[in-house]
Amino acid sequence: MKATAKANVNIALIKYWGKRDEELILPTNNSLSLTLDGLYTTTTVQFKEELTEDVFTLDGEKVTGVAFKRVTEFLNIIRKEAGKESLYAEINSKNDVPTAAGFASSASGFAALAAAASKAIGLNLSDEELSRITRRGSGSACRSIYGGFAEWQMGEKDDGSDSYAVPIAPRDHWDLRIAAVILTDKQKSVSSRDGMKRTVDSSAFFQGWVESNPADLEGIKEGIKARDFHKVGEIAEANCLKMHATTLAAKPPFTYWTDSTMKVMQEVQKMRADGIPAYFTIDAGPNVKLLYLPEYEETILERLKEISDVTEVILSRAGEGITYL
Ligand code: DP6
Candidates 10, 11, 16: which one to mutate for ligand 1, based on the most atoms within 8 Å of Cβ?
A: 16
pLDDT above 70 for 236: yes
Cα(303)–Cα(312) distance, rounded to whole angstroms?
13
pLDDT band, residue 166 (cuts 50/70/90)? very high
Q: Which atom of ligand 1 is nearest to the CA of 135?
A: 5
What count of other Cβ atoms lies within 10 Å of the Cβ of residue 9? Answer: 31
Burial of 108 (0-12, 13-18, 19+ CB in 10 A): buried
**What average pLDDT score do residues 65-94 get?**
97
pLDDT above 90 for 269: yes
pLDDT band, residue 199 (cuts 50/70/90)? very high
**What average pLDDT score do residues 201-220 get?**
98
pTM score of the predicted model = 0.97
pLDDT above 70 for 100: no
pLDDT band, residue 188 (cuts 50/70/90)? low
Residue 139 Cβ < 6 Å to ligand 1 = yes
Q: What is the pLDDT of residue 104?
A: 73
pLDDT band, residue 105 (cuts 50/70/90)? confident
Q: How far does CA 185 lie from the centroid of its chain?
A: 22
Over residues 53-70, the pLDDT tens digits come to 999 999 999 999 999 999
Please check whether residue 109 is in contact with residue 95, taking contact to mean a CB–CB distance below 8 angstroms: yes
Residue 283 Cβ < 6 Å to ligand 1 = yes
Higher pLDDT: 131 or 100? It is 131
Q: What is the pLDDT of residue 241?
A: 98
Residue 295 Cα, ligand 1 centroid: separation in angstroms? 31
Residue 132 Cβ < 6 Å to ligand 1 = no
Q: Which residues of 113-129 are buried (b: 16+ CB within 10 A; e: fewer)?
A: bbbbbbbbbebebebee
Average pLDDT, the chain: 96
Residue 106 Cβ < 6 Å to ligand 1 = yes
Cα(136)–Cα(114) distance, rounded to whole angstroms?
10
Residue 118 C-beta-side C-alpha neighbours within 13 Å:
23
| % of the chain at pLDDT higher than 70 | 98
Beta bridge partners of 57: 62, 92
**What average pLDDT score do residues 196-210 get?**
98
Residue 15 Cβ < 6 Å to ligand 1 = yes
Q: What is the pLDDT of residue 187?
A: 63
pLDDT band, residue 185 (cuts 50/70/90)? low
Report the range of poorest mean pLDDT among 6-10, 180-184, 293-297: 180-184
Please check whether residue 95 is in contact with residue 59, taking contact to mean a CB–CB distance below 8 angstroms: yes
Q: Which residues of 94-107 are buried (b: 16+ CB within 10 A; e: fewer)?
A: ebebeeebbbbbbb
Report the range of poorest mean pLDDT among 25-29, 47-51, 188-192: 188-192
CA diameter of the chain: 64
**What average pLDDT score do residues 136-158 get?**
98
Report the range of poorest mean pLDDT among 78-87, 103-112, 120-129, 143-152: 103-112
Q: What is the pLDDT of residue 99?
A: 67
Residue 16 Cβ < 6 Å to ligand 1 = yes
One DSSP character per residue, 76-107 reads: HHHHHHHT-TT-EEEEEEEEES-GGG---HHH
pLDDT above 70 for 34: yes
Output the residue whose Cα is nearest ligand 1's atom 5.
Answer: 139
